[in-house]
Chains A and B, each alone.
Chain A
Amino acid sequence: MDLTKLNLKQAKEGLKKKDFSSVDLTKAFLQRIKEVEPKIAAFVTVAEKEALEMAKRADGLIANGQDLPLLGVPISIKDNFSTQGIKTTASSKVLDSYIPPYDATVVSKLKDAGIVLLGKTNMDAWAHGSSTETSDYGSTKNPWNIGFLPGGSSGGAAASVAGDEVIFGIGSETAGSIRQPASWCGVVGLKPTYGRVSRYGVIAMGSSLDCPGPITKSVEDAAIILEILAGKDHFDATTSPRQTEKYSIDLNKSIRGLKIGISDDYFEGVDTQIVASVKNALKVLEGMGAEIVHIKLFEPKYAIAVYTIIQRAEVSSNLARYDGIRFGNNREAFGEEAKRRIMFGTYALSAGYYDQFYNKASKVRTVIIEDFKKAFQKVDVIIAPTSPSTALPLGSSKNHPMFGEMADVLVEPSSIAGLPGINVPCGFSKEGLPIGMQIIGSQFSESKILNVAYQYEQATDWKEQKPKL
């Protein structure tokens, strides 16, 4: 049996039945990492020693009859999550030697649940991008074709999952950084509602948008992991006090009568193969009793303007602390993209420009939130392609400062509105690259979008296909 092909549910069953130990599983993944890392470069740091220690500890607990939701399960975490004692760089040379003295809340929750941390995954430096090419540690490559990009910024996380280097990965999304690489790498990526999962310890990008979430091999895995991550955190004032749910409980619910909203604007300018795949997926869902409802949403292009201003403004302030006095390298170590964003954001917040840019963007943001609210009075979920294209060749982001915004045009509106969304694989292009669709729900409707995603996943067999590495 190839242990690296297991998803979370399968791995947990095997560990419980003692078919294999956590150390066996961890060693299998470390071996796999040794084999495929030279090709895909998904990791910034592989923590082999720490991982084996965690696995041994997990095996001890299993032997004592302990049952924790993720006990002994090897995973990867994006390199913008603070991990105590393990280097955390956000893929920027500025933090080349930074070892956090504390764990992000997400990391401590995962540790409490029993994980084995295999390492930290590559990303666009500071999460500024949608390609993982802007990493100061080199680009990650798409496991389906190593001449292509994995997407980003959680490109390392998505590639580590698609490449079977881990059972699942933890990513973060500001606008598209989980869903888009999941789509390009053919895996499941869940971006929860803003405030559902704590940001404490996650190196801030756009603070009013950032959202941690799982990247997995199945929808059910994503639901199980969200159950562990979700909830109010006393270290993050923006987390919601709202009760969390058993997100995996409703997966099997019938979607008969479910109203799926479709907005034509979300299919415009999208690769025709992607349009066809998503339309086919909609037919599958219709076949299961769902009803397609045509709606008119605010054109996604307005969201780009709003997102760009708000995110750059927040970035310019969030990166101010990396002044060269306390952390590793000084400001010269900032890459092109970070410098561009600092300048753009500083300008947008400057005296005399605040009203024209930031303030106006905040107002339009409210309009977009209201627009979605109205839409969700008519429909239960909205389905759209996740990305206008399949994975692009390496080098595509170079010399395109707005590359990310264009690649993320279909995910930015829902991010600005703080809504949850999930990418589910729904086909392959004739070039053999994965295609994904996204299911967007109203605030805190994670159970519903997971239910729809699961029903679709069970009716199709896209996830059975694996990249040949």
Chain B
Amino acid sequence: MNKYIPVIGLEVHVELKTKSKMFCGCSADYFGAEPNTHTCPVCLGLPGALPVPNEVAIDWCRKIGLALNCELLKSSKFDRKNYFYPDLAKGYQISQYDKPFCLKGSITLGSGKVIGITRVHMEEDTAKLAHQSGIQNSNVKSQNYSLVDFNRSGVPLVEIVTEPDFDNAQDVVDYLKKLQQIVRYLGVSNADMEKGDMRLEPNISLRRVGETGLPKYKVEVKNINSFSFVAKAIEFEIKRQTEILDKGQVPAQETRGWNETKNATVSQRSKEDAQDYRYFPEPDIPEISILADQIDQMRSELSELPHEKVKKFEGWAVKKADARILAETKEMAEFFESTVEHARKHEVLPQDVANYIVNHKVDITTVLPTHIIEEIKGKKVGMISDESELEKIAKEVISENPGFVEAYKKGKLTVIQALVGAVMKKTLGKADASKAKTILEKLLNPEVS
């Protein structure tokens, strides 16, 4: 039996997909852009430049807070977090210290366990350093040098901090998946791990069974960019710390990093080197307040969240496992909803629709809800499935919709749905949509067939 219980908390940084950066008008969509092309005096930290907060980003931060059952503070402020690093243009990061936008929330995991959310706050991203070796030019004497790309400098980041409520890596991964799903549902972040949209920092310590209260030390693992690495880092730390504790020692309070090649965490910074960030209120940005009415309004406008969709689908007598699959993404959930709407008119049950979508692994970007209903109902009375007749109608549709045809030929293949829709309209819904689509594709791609 285990002698220790892991005590794990998590800090997650989520990059928002707002059009502009957090404190200036530069485009925040920097991925793949030429270095230092998305910059201005503000995000370069030039002398005299001032930050002006992005209201959309603040709204989105608050939405994340509401989705995580947080309390929104009536009055919040930004603070300066002072530290030196070459990727930090101003010598301080604008963040939030004691009055963040959102406090005290919670999230329920698949297992039913409730994890407390300490806070959700807003800050700005730093620039990106590219470490190079070799001599850049005659001015650079050193063998190694670093380049700074300020395109990412000032991109809005939301930091979500949990209570140390986790005791195993699986729950942490479940939490991360849920969080990723929520921010995608809200449409505030792509949460694309590959692009660094989500950065994960677990803190891990061990408590002796039977003890209460927090352990005297805490090990933080910084900037992990994949869910599986987080799980590995946690497993590694549990093992490492257990060994130390078994020897009667206390693990050092420190910051560690995840090393992919070694499959291990490595020490980066000890407690003695802990930074004093000298937080103080950002004098360039006045306090930001929100009225109770505005909070209510925002809450009422919040789109349905994954767990709410699941609940709704279950209410339609859909099996829980299917409901979860169907609520995986907002797009899938909405597709299922509109298919069910059609199904009702044709006396098809939601569970039948669920079965069809789940079993056929339906590609919702190319299949119409009506088509699914037809498939489920099988051959419908009066259905037009005669190919020559459908081809005649398809030709009419093609000649009547030159715009769509042109778009299709330019590569916008999804407009095929609009053409199928036109066929359906002409036949008052009696055409075999699947066949109509095949015929349309054949007509539009003569060389392929």
Contact = CB atoms under 8 A, between A and B. Distances in A.
Contacts of A120: none
Contacts of A81: 48
B286 interface: yes
Nearest to B275: A351
A459 B344 CA distance: 89
A323 B84 contact: yes
B93 to A, nearest CB: 11
- Most chain A beta carbons < 10 A, residue from B41, B46, B80: B46
A433 interface: no
Interface string B69-87: 0000000000010101010
Contacts of A346: 278
B50 A101 contact: no
Interface in A178-212: 199-204, 206-208
B136 to A, nearest CB: 15
Contacts of A199: 48, 50
Given A90-B47, A320-B90, A327-B47, A349 B52 contact: no
A208 B278 contact: no
A98 interface: yes
Contacts of A41: none
Nearest to B78: A237
Contact of B41 (A102, A237, A313): A102
B435 to A, nearest CB: 57
B47 A207 contact: no
A349 B280 CA distance: 7
- Most chain B beta carbons < 10 A, residue from A101, A203, A349: A349
B92 interface: yes
B282 to A, nearest CB: 8
Given A98-B47, A238-B286, A327-B47, A321 B90 contact: yes
Interface in A359-384: 362
Contacts of B278: 316-317, 346, 349-351, 354
Given A321-B91, A346-B278, A351-B276, A100 B80 contact: no
B166 to A, nearest CB: 28
B49 A349 contact: no
B280 A321 contact: no
A317 B50 contact: no
Contacts of A95: 47
B48 A321 contact: no
Contact of A82 (B48, B89, B283): B48
A317 B48 CA distance: 13
A235 B281 CA distance: 19
B92 A317 contact: yes
B46 A100 contact: yes
B165 to A, nearest CB: 27
A237 B80 contact: no
Contacts of B80: 317
Contacts of A321: 45, 47, 89-91
A344 B143 CA distance: 38
Given A317-B80, A350-B276, A235 B50 contact: yes
A112 interface: no
Interface string B318-354: 0000000000000000000000000000000000000
B51 interface: yes
Given A320-B92, A323-B91, A203 B47 contact: yes
A313 B280 CA distance: 9
A451 interface: no
A71 B324 CA distance: 70
B413 interface: no
Nearest to A88: B47
A317 B82 contact: yes
A313 to B, nearest CB: 6
B283 A208 contact: yes
Interface SS of chain B: loop
Contacts of A208: 283
B396 interface: no
A237 B284 contact: yes
Given A317-B92, A321-B89, A200 B283 contact: no
A236 interface: yes
A200 B47 contact: no
A104 B49 CA distance: 8
Contacts of B84: 320, 323
Contacts of A203: 47-48
A208 B50 CA distance: 12
Contacts of A80: 48
Interface SS of chain A: loop
A220 interface: no
Interface in A72-108: 80-82, 88, 90, 95, 98, 100-102, 104
A314 B278 CA distance: 11
A144 interface: no
A234 interface: yes
Contacts of A1: none
Nearest to B41: A102
B257 to A, nearest CB: 24
A230 B68 CA distance: 43
Given A317-B80, A321-B45, A358 B90 contact: no
Given A202-B48, A320-B91, A321-B45, A238 B280 contact: no
Contacts of B281: 362
A316 B283 CA distance: 13
A202 B48 CA distance: 4
Nearest to B277: A351
Given A323-B84, A349-B82, A237 B46 contact: no
B53 interface: yes
Given A349-B278, A354-B280, A100 B92 contact: no
B35 to A, nearest CB: 15
B285 interface: yes
Contacts of B89: 321
Nearest to A313: B280
Interface in B203-220: none
- Most chain A beta carbons < 10 A, residue from B86, B278, B284: B278
A192 to B, nearest CB: 17
A319 B47 CA distance: 9
B52 A237 contact: yes
Contacts of A102: 41, 46, 49
Given A346-B278, A354-B280, A100 B47 contact: yes
A319 B80 CA distance: 13
A82 B50 CA distance: 12
Interface in A321-344: 321-323, 325, 327
Contacts of B41: 82, 100-102, 201
A285 B285 CA distance: 40
A101 B46 contact: yes
Contacts of A82: 41, 46-48
Interface string A222-244: 00000000000011111000000
A100 B47 CA distance: 8
B53 A237 contact: yes
A82 B48 CA distance: 7
A235 B52 contact: yes
A201 B283 contact: no
Contacts of A322: 47
Contacts of B86: 323, 325
A236 B82 CA distance: 21
18 contacts: A81-B48, A88-B47, A98-B47, A100-B48, A200-B49, A201-B41, A201-B48, A203-B48, A207-B283, A234-B52, A235-B50, A235-B52, A238-B283, A238-B286, A321-B45, A346-B278, A350-B278, A362-B281
Interface of B: 41, 45-53, 80, 82, 84, 86, 89-92, 276, 278-281, 283-286
Which 3 residue pairs spanning A and B have beta carbons closest together? A320-B91, A349-B278, A207-B283
Given A199-B48, A201-B41, 17 more contacts: A82-B46, A82-B48, A98-B47, A100-B46, A101-B46, A102-B41, A207-B284, A237-B286, A238-B283, A316-B82, A317-B80, A317-B82, A320-B90, A321-B45, A321-B91, A323-B86, A349-B280
